Structure 1
Amino acid sequence: MPKPYSREFRDDVVRVARDHEAGVTVEQIAKDFGVRPMTLFKWLRQADIDAGARDGRR
C-alpha cells in the first residue's frame, strides 16, 4: 500500500518541480524527495487541474 503524503509535502514537491533549474529533470526531483517519478507527474497534472490551467479529462 502506498504511503500517504501530506498536502504540504505534495505542494512543496510540485513547487520545486515547477521552479527547477535548467538541466534538472522531474525524475531527479522525484528521487531527491523519495517519490516515484510517475507520482510526481500525477501531482503536477492534478495541480494544473486544480489551478484551472488544464481540463480534468484525460
Structure 2
Amino acid sequence: MSFPRDAEGVASRSDGSHERSPDDACPRKYPLELRERAVRMYRTAEPKPVIRRMAEELGVHHEALRGWIRQAEADAGEPLTALGGACGR
C-alpha cells in the first residue's frame, strides 16, 4: 500500500502516523574513508593508543571510534579483547 508523501519524502497514513522510504536513510556523520583510516591507524599502532586521545586527534567521538574498531574486529573474526570485551576484562 502506498501513502501520499510530503515534500520531505515522509508518507502520511490516514491514522496520522508516518513512514519513511528506504531512500531516506540518514547520511553518515563521518565519511567511510575516515572510519577506515582510523581503524587502520589503531590496528597498526604499537603500543595501542588511548581511544579517547586518538578520537580527539581525529575529531571524532570516542564511542564512534570504539564502535568502528569493535566492528572491524568482529568482521575479521577476531576476539573482542582489545577494547574490554568479555575475554579482556
Q: TM-score, normalised by structure 1?
A: 0.71
The residue identity in structure 1 corresponding to 2:55 is A
Identity, % of aligned positions: 35
For the residue of structure 2 that corresponds to 1:47, the secondary structure is helix
5+ residue gaps, structure 1, are none
Considering fraction of residues, name the structure with more helix.
1
Report 1 or 2 for greater relative contact order, CA contacts < 8 Å, sequence distance ≥ 6: 1
Q: May I ask how many residue pairs the two structures share in their alignment?
A: 55
Matched-pair contact (CA < 8 Å) for 2:73–2:79: yes
1:33 aligns with 2:58: yes
Which structure has the bigger radius of gyration? 2
- Equivalent of 1:15, from 40, 57, 68? 40
Considering fraction of residues, name the structure with more strand.
2
